[in-house]
Amino acid sequence: MFEIPILKSFIHRFKALTVIGILLLGINIYAQKPDFNISKDLLLVQFDCKTDIDDLHTAAGLRTLLHHPDYKDLNYFAIAGTYGVQEGLYVPPNELMKLAFGINWANAHNKRDKSIKQVVNKVEKTIKRGGSVWVAEAGQSDFTADWVQKLVETNQYLNVKEKIHVVQHSDWNESVTEPIKLKYAQSITDYHKIADGNAVGNGTPGLKSDGIVNWESKLNDNHLTLVWNTAIRLGNQYNGKEGRYINESVAEGGLDFSDLSEVCYILNLMTIKDADDFFTYFKVD
C-alpha cells in the first residue's frame, strides 16, 4: 500500500530538517486549535483495537456522545483495526461496533483495502461539499497515512493541510506507528498533538478511571446501557488474555475511554474533566 518511491521526497525532507525546524514543528503541533463545522465536516474515529481493550470503552463513549441532541446530525464514520506495528493479539470489536454504529463503520482488520476505499470515498464527498475531515486517532497513524496517500494519488491538487486534520493524544501510539508513515501523516496533514487523555488535569479530558464510575444512573436509555454493558463484557473477556495488554484500571472495575479525548478536542468539549463528568455532561433524562 505505502509506495516507497512516493515517499522518497519525504525521507529526504526529514533528513534535511534542522534542529530548529524540528522544534518549530513541535510547537506548531501543540499550538493548533480545532474548528469543526458540524454542518459540513466529517469526523473519522479510527480504533486500533490492539492490544489494549480501551478502544471498546471508547466506542461506547462515542456512541454516548452521538446520542446527545447536539450531535444527532454529526457526520461520522468509525474504523476498527487501524493498528500500527505493535505486537500482540487483536481485540475483536465487531459485536460492539455493529451494536454501536450499525453500518456506519469499517473493518480494516479483515478488509483493509476496502476500508481505505470507503474512507477515501467519504473524504472526497465531504471535501467536494466544502467540508473538512477530522481524524481522531484512537491508535496509530498507519491507516491514516495509507488512505491519505490514496487520496492524494487521485486528487493531486488538493491542499491536504487545509482539509485533513489529524488529532493524536498518545506518545505510545506514535512510537508504534511505522516511522515513515508517522512522518508522512505529520508533514502532509494538519497534525494536532494534544495532552494524554489517560490523565486528569493536563487540559485534556481524563477519561480513564481507577475506580468504579456510576454511569448507569446517568444513562437512562436501554440501547446505551446495552452498548456499555457489551463494551465492558468484551473488555473483561479480552483484558490481559493470551498476552494482550493488561489494563489495570479496567481490571479493578474502572473504565478507560481515554482515546475519546481527541473527539472532545475536535468538538470543543475540553471543559469535561474526567469520566464521571463525561456522563454528567451527556446524562440522558
Contacts 24+ apart (CB under 8 A), 112-121: 112/1, 112/81, 112/143, 112/146, 113/1, 115/79, 115/81, 115/143, 116/1, 116/143, 116/146, 116/147, 116/150, 117/150, 118/77, 119/44, 119/77, 119/79, 119/147, 120/147, 120/150, 120/151, 120/154
Residue 2: band (very low, low, confident or very high) from pLDDT cuts 50, 70, 90: low
CATH number of 1-285: 3.90.245
Q: Are 100 and 76 in contact (CB under 8 A)?
A: no
> What percent of the chain stands above pLDDT 90?
86
Surface-to-core class of residue 102, CB atoms within 10 Å of its CB (0-12 exposed, 13-18 middle, 19+ buried): exposed
Query: Is this prediction's pTM over 0.85?
Result: yes
14 versus 107: which is more confidently predicted?
A: 107
Which pairing describes strands 76-80 and 42-47: parallel, antiparallel, or unpaired? parallel
**Residue 41 and residue 66: Cα distance in Å, rounded?**
15
Mean pLDDT of all residues in 4-9: 47
pLDDT higher than threshold 70 for residue 143:
yes
Looking at residue 34, what is its pLDDT?
81
